[in-house]
Amino acid sequence: MTEEFGAHRKVLRVHGREQPSPIPIFPLPGAIVLPHGQLPLNIFEPRYLRMIDDALAGGRTIGMIQPREESPGGAPLYAVGCAGRITSFLETGDGRYLITLTGMLRFRIARELETETPYRQAEVDYSGYVADADLDETAHMVDREQLFDAMRDYLETENLSTDWDEAAEAPTDALVNSLAMGCPFAPNEKQALLEAPTVADRAECLVTLMSMGGDISDGQIVQ
């Protein structure tokens, strides 16, 4: 049995906001969105243009998740991704979509569906990540001085730049999540950042990655 987008949808309501399942999923290596974070995306493949069209016609929700390997077709996926809502949208003159995806709740893949759509869909389980809807209360535990030291060394090594005044004024949780989403870490390292239970845990992982040049294997990622 195959399904069209939106068929037999279930909805979890968290703090008055709907978290649907199944959802379209966007497998993209090296890209994660985190709860309350914003991820800009440039959409140009026809199947994903169709996905955005369908999402805009519905609840504007898609699931970002990383494939375990870069290969065409239905590459195996990591177990955990994050649902995001399309909060801005621009169609370019050459037919691309420039969107901003705002992270909502992380999820665990329950079952991938056989579908008639050109993009993949999955039933997802949000139950282990309901707390993502709230602001993380561990941000005060982050050692900002240590984080900035690691950040300076990493950006210099990678020949990257940032607005240091803006970074200094950013709330800790926003800074940590922006670094996790924006730094060019390997996919398994991005996955470790996504699956970190709290902002404080994510900051600790970030410091390790930035200080050591990235040294986290798949075996160290909690599934």
Q: How far apart are CA 191 and CA 10, in angstroms?
A: 26
**What's this model's pTM, rounded to 2 decimal places?**
0.86
- Look at residue 73 and give its three-state secondary structure: coil
More confident residue, 13 or 35: 35
Q: Give tens-digit pLDDT for 117-175.
A: 999 999 999 999 999 999 899 999 999 999 999 999 999 999 999 999 999 999 999 99
Instruction: Provide CATH 2.30.130.40 ranges for the chain.
Output: 10-133
Return the bridge partners of 192, or none.
none
Pairing outcome for strands 17-21 and 61-65:
unpaired
* Other Cβ atoms within 10 Å of 41 Cβ, number: 20
The enclosing H or E element of 175 equals helix 172-182
CATH superfamily of 10-133: LON domain-like (2.30.130.40)
% of the chain at pLDDT higher than 90: 81
Pairing outcome for strands 120-125 and 10-14:
unpaired
